[in-house]
């Protein structure tokens, strides 16, 4: 039995990719917004908000994986 459902996403590569995204996605978003001449404070807010996108994506992907796996296990369809 799997302890954490996110360990199985993308054939087990997701935990590594998630750590990479949590570290570098805000930096990338900040640098892109800053180079587009957006105010530094607004760039920082956008960069901070980008971290939540990783968590939201992970949750949606886990829910879709669980729905696909449990589709054949239903007694009443």
CA angle, residues 13, 8, 10, in degrees to nearest 5? 45
Q: What is the arithmetic mean of pLDDT over 55-75?
A: 74
The pLDDT tens digits for 12-43 are: 777 778 788 888 999 999 999 999 999 999 99
pTM of the full predicted structure?
A: 0.63
Nearest to 69 by CA among 3, 28, 9: 9
**N-term to C-term CA, the chain:** 25
Q: Do the beta carbons of residue 18 and residue 6 sit within 8 Å?
A: yes
Percent of the chain with pLDDT over 90: 32
Give the span between the Cα atoms of 17 and 1, in whole angstroms: 22
């Amino acid at each position: 039995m799997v302890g954490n459902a996110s360990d199985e996403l993308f054939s087990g590569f997701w935990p590594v990719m998630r750590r990479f995204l949590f570290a570098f996605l805000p930096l990338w978003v900040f640098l892109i917004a800053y180079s587009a001449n957006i105010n530094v404070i607004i760039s920082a807010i956008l960069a901070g908000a980008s971290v939540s996108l990783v968590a939201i994506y992970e949750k949606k992907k886990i829910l879709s994986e669980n729905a696909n796996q449990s589709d054949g296990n239903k007694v009443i369809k």
